[in-house]
Amino acid sequence: MTHFKFTKPHTLTSALALAIGLTTFTPATAQEATVIGEGEVVTDQQVLDDDGDNLTIDAGGILDVADDAILADGNDVIIENAGAVTAGSDGIESNGDDARITNSGSIRSNSAGIESSGNDAQITNNGSIAAEAGIRSTGVNVQITNSGSITPADSDGIRSTGANAQITNSGSIATVGTDGIESNGNNAQITNSGQIFVAGGSGAAIEMTGDSTVLTNTGLLSSTNSAGFAIEGGAGTQTVTLGAGSQIIGAIDLGAGEDRLDIAAGNASAVLAFVGVETLNLDDDLAFFATDDGITTVDTTGISVLNEAVGALSNSAHAEISGRFAPVTDLATQGTVAPTSGAWASLFGQARNVGDDGAALAYSHNFAGLIAGYDRDTSAGRVGFVGGVSAGHIETDADSQDTDTESLFAGAYLNRSFDQVHLTGSVLAGVGSYDSDRLVIDNLAGFETATARFDSQFVSASVNAATQAFMLGNVALTPSVTATYTAVNFDGYTEDGTTSANLEVDDRSAQTLKGRAELTTRYLLGSVDTAFRGGIDARTSFEDDISATLDGITADFDVSDSDNYLGGFVGTRAVFSQSAQFSVVGDLEYQFGENETDAVAAGLNVSFSF
């Protein structure tokens, strides 16, 4: 341990000792800066009794004391622990005002991990506290922040009794039979974006008894005992906001007083029973059913995005068909030739990510499929028939819903060339099946899953028009446009698997119109005929409302994702093998757009003539 004493040296000896650093340990006293360095083990209590004293324990430093490990009675003390503190009593006891206490290491104690009685203290835990009690404060205007872990053995995780406290948890607090956070002072502000677990006993994840207390939660509050609460209020006025991301397990009782509960959209489905709420404010975008003792909220993301999923599949299948007629280079003559007619097959797939969109949660949609066809040249143009299958998965980033999808489709297409325009039209019809799991967080029953299986039927038509290339400098560009219309009907279904949140969902229809404008340029890279493209995508949808029934009550909800989309794309296409009888073509595309949307699409086409 290096020990620096900030007093004016009066002798050559003291000046020399200061210059080289006195390495012999002495307890911290009188306006000192004390450092316990890496590899040092100290067993003496550290005393900070003068104003401005500070103590630093470096990573790898150890303070192991039979009583309070650190006792600070001075004001404006600074205590920073990145090492390991072990104590027979309090890990850190601070009694002065304006203390700055930071733990990014570990504290193990038989009493409080951190005990503070001074005003205006700032207490931060980025590390771990395993003690009889976590953090206790009796001062006013105190700021307590936890982004680490607190695991008290027999008391509260964080307790504050003074007024004007600011308590923030983005880490983990786990207690047994006691409160995760207890706030007793007036005008407290409590924010939780982390996880608070209470098991056994009658403890609350958050208990607040002071007047004018404000709680904002976007994390998990869990009290898994019949006598405990997720949120417990007192006689004062409390305001609770359950923001996006909230998960509540346990009863909610805000007690007496004029208490308010605000609930935002953008959460997993939930059953929320509560008492002691005089004012209830619900987000305009929130889908919910009112019940006798609370509300049941519905995350409509999984239902809302199905139309877009069907559209993405249809667009990919149409793209495989129209891509079959992209011009290729005859390696012998260096001229452009039409692709060979006959049988062909393509593997295709897409991985798509979409960000939060209104009440719709961020989600991913991945699918892969096989499409195969056969075509022949006729007097009307090249005519062909296709069939295909696909399988996919839709899942929200918050794990609130996931749906497995399967589709089967068939159709026909026609390609015809005029003087300056090449047209490809295709029509598809198909059916889809869905296995849906919807997370329901019932604050009295726990985490449950509502399951359902249902089908859909869809038709889709697409027209692609490509013109002759034009020169832009030395680059030949081929413009093309594509319009695709898709209509789908989703069958109704009844969910199963939850205590009180199974929905009956009516059948509904949706229509989507998508447009694409594209510029393509081609290069011969060795023996590989390569094309590069870029352009814009736009989409608009028209959908029925979601009509659902819960316990005989029917409600209609708007679809939660956006009806319109605008984005762009870049891609490449390569002909790896080309002959009169056989060709292999690969395709790769990156898409990007509104609502933090991005996707990667790929395809591999094999054609042969016989």
Q: pLDDT digits over 582-595, tens only? A: 788 999 999 999 98
At residue 126, does pLDDT exceed 90? yes
Query: In which band, very low, low, confident or very high, does the pLDDT at 29 lie, cut at 50, 70 and 90?
Result: very low
Q: Which tens digit of pLDDT belongs to each residue from 421-447?
A: 999 999 999 999 999 999 999 999 999
The reply to whether 50 falls in a domain is yes
- Structural domain ending residue among the three candidates 245, 263, 297: 297
Question: How confident is the model at residue 525, as a pLDDT?
Answer: 79
- Mean pLDDT confidence for 558-570: 89
Query: In which band, very low, low, confident or very high, does the pLDDT at 335 lie, cut at 50, 70 and 90?
Result: low
At residue 22, does pLDDT exceed 70? no
Q: Please state, in angstroms and as integers, the Cα–Cα distance from residue 371 to each residue in 204, 263, 368, following that order.
A: 56, 46, 10
Question: How confident is the model at residue 63, as a pLDDT?
Answer: 98
- How many structural domains compose the chain? 2
81 with 59: CB under 8 angstroms? no
At residue 14, does pLDDT exceed 90? no
Closest listed residue to residue 298, CA positions, set 254, 265, 275:
265
The reply to whether 26 falls in a domain is no
CATH of the domain at 592: 2.40.128.130
Query: In which band, very low, low, confident or very high, does the pLDDT at 579 lie, cut at 50, 70 and 90?
Result: low
Q: Which tens digit of pLDDT belongs to each residue from 216-256?
A: 999 999 998 877 799 999 988 999 999 999 999 999 999 99
The 8-class DSSP code of residue 67 comes to: S
Element (H, E) at 316: helix 306-323
Q: Which tens digit of pLDDT belongs to each residue from 245-293?
A: 999 999 999 999 999 999 999 899 999 999 999 999 999 999 999 988 9
The structure tokens listed for 274 are 């509560």
Q: Please state, in angstroms and as integers, the Cα–Cα distance from residue 156 to each residue in 130, 211, 295, 365, 420, following that order.
A: 12, 20, 30, 43, 78
Q: Could you tell me if 255 and 318 lie in one domain?
A: no
Question: How confident is the model at residue 522, as a pLDDT?
Answer: 85
Q: Which tens digit of pLDDT belongs to each residue from 55-69?
A: 999 999 999 999 999
Query: In which band, very low, low, confident or very high, does the pLDDT at 529 lie, cut at 50, 70 and 90?
Result: confident
Query: Tokens 């004007």 correspond to what residue?
Result: 164
Q: Could you tell me if 283 and 310 lie in one domain?
A: no
- Mean pLDDT confidence for 535-540: 97
- Structural domain ending residue among the three candidates 297, 314, 345: 297
- Structural domain ending residue among the three candidates 251, 277, 297: 297
Question: How confident is the model at residue 199, as a pLDDT?
Answer: 93
The reply to whether 3 falls in a domain is no
The reply to whether 598 falls in a domain is yes
Most distant pair of Cα atoms in the chain: their distance: 111
Q: Could you tell me if 355 and 485 lie in one domain?
A: yes
The reply to whether 7 falls in a domain is no
Q: Could you tell me if 290 and 320 lie in one domain?
A: no
Residue bearing the bigger pLDDT, 9 or 78: 78
- Mean pLDDT confidence for 340-344: 87
Distance from the Cα of residue 301 to its chain's centroid: 13
Q: Which domain holds residue 48?
A: 38-297
The reply to whether 10 falls in a domain is no
Q: What long-range pairs does 373-378 form, CB within 8 A, spacing at least 24?
A: 373/321, 373/324, 373/343, 373/344, 373/345, 373/413, 374/342, 374/343, 374/344, 375/341, 375/342, 375/344, 375/413, 375/415, 376/341, 376/342, 377/341
The reply to whether 576 falls in a domain is yes
**With b meaning 16 or more CB within 10 Å and e meaning fewer, what string describes 93-102?**
bbbbbbbbbb
Question: How confident is the model at residue 236, as a pLDDT?
Answer: 87
Query: In which band, very low, low, confident or very high, does the pLDDT at 2 lie, cut at 50, 70 and 90?
Result: very low
% of the chain exceeding 90 in pLDDT: 79
Residue 344: half-sphere exposure toward Cβ, Cα within 13 Å: 27
Question: How confident is the model at residue 228, as a pLDDT?
Answer: 77
Question: How confident is the model at residue 17, as a pLDDT?
Answer: 38
